[in-house]
Amino acid sequence: MNPPTETNGAHSPAHTAAPERKPFLKRMAEHFMVLALAGMVIAVFVNVVLRYVFATSIVSYEEVSRLLFVWLVAVGAIVTAFEGKHLGFDMVTSRLKGGTKKGLFWLSQLLIAICMVLLLIGSWEQVKAGMDSFSTVLGYPLALGAAATLVLAVGLLINVVVDLRRGEPPVVDNSDVE
């Protein structure tokens, strides 16, 4: 391959693609995950320092970090699903072609949808039950924690619909993997 030069135009402005802008919801989810992780790190670090240096701690930080962790996992799972980067076992399906591969894809999406509907139903029941139960330190409704799995179920159901409309799993861009 020839190195880029002025004559072949490999570096000319017409050939450089502008970075693709991420969808608004994905950017918001990623910002939330950054803030949640930062909040968890700060809360845990402050508590560790307080315990070892001053033999005390801020009890509410434990509840905050636990709640942030639950939401971080739920939102992260949704983002990962839309990127097609969940762990998958494709030793068999990667060797198949045609109708068999497509049939197994639809079967797996159906099973995922069934699991997500069950999770949605169970999460909704937990949210309803959690409206009358409150955390011991901060006093927030426990439904706030259960709502994370409700959002997770809805997000993954939407992902199943998107994948089925596409007719195949998303193409994974591994350019960020070393």
pLDDT in tens, 45-72: 999 999 999 989 898 998 999 999 999 9
Confidence (pLDDT) at 154:
97
More confident residue, 148 or 11: 148
Q: Return the closest-CA partner of residue 155 out of 102, 126, 112.
A: 112
Answer whether residue 23 shows pLDDT above 70: yes
More confident residue, 139 or 13: 139
Q: Quick one: which H or E segment has residue 39?
A: helix 24-54
**Which long-range contacts does 59-63 make (Cβ < 8 Å, 24+ apart)?**
59/137, 60/137, 60/138, 62/137, 63/135, 63/136, 63/137, 63/138, 63/140
More confident residue, 89 or 28: 28
Q: Which amino acid appears at position 128 of this protein?
A: K
Yes or no: say if 92 and 139 are a contact pair by the CB < 8 Å rule.
no
More confident residue, 93 or 68: 68
Rounded to whole angstroms, the Cα distance separating 92 from 170 reads: 18
Mean pLDDT over 110-136 rounds to: 95
Answer whether residue 125 shows pLDDT above 90: yes
Tokens 């762990």 identify what position?
87
Confidence (pLDDT) at 16:
59
Answer whether residue 14 shows pLDDT above 90: no
Rounded to whole angstroms, the Cα distance separating 165 from 14 reads: 33
Confidence (pLDDT) at 176:
63
Confidence (pLDDT) at 88:
76
Average pLDDT of the chain, as a whole number: 86
- Token digits for 107? 């079967």
Rounded to whole angstroms, the Cα distance separating 156 from 111 reads: 12
Confidence (pLDDT) at 89:
76
Mean pLDDT over 150-178 rounds to: 84
Q: Return the closest-CA partner of residue 158 out of 112, 104, 92.
A: 112
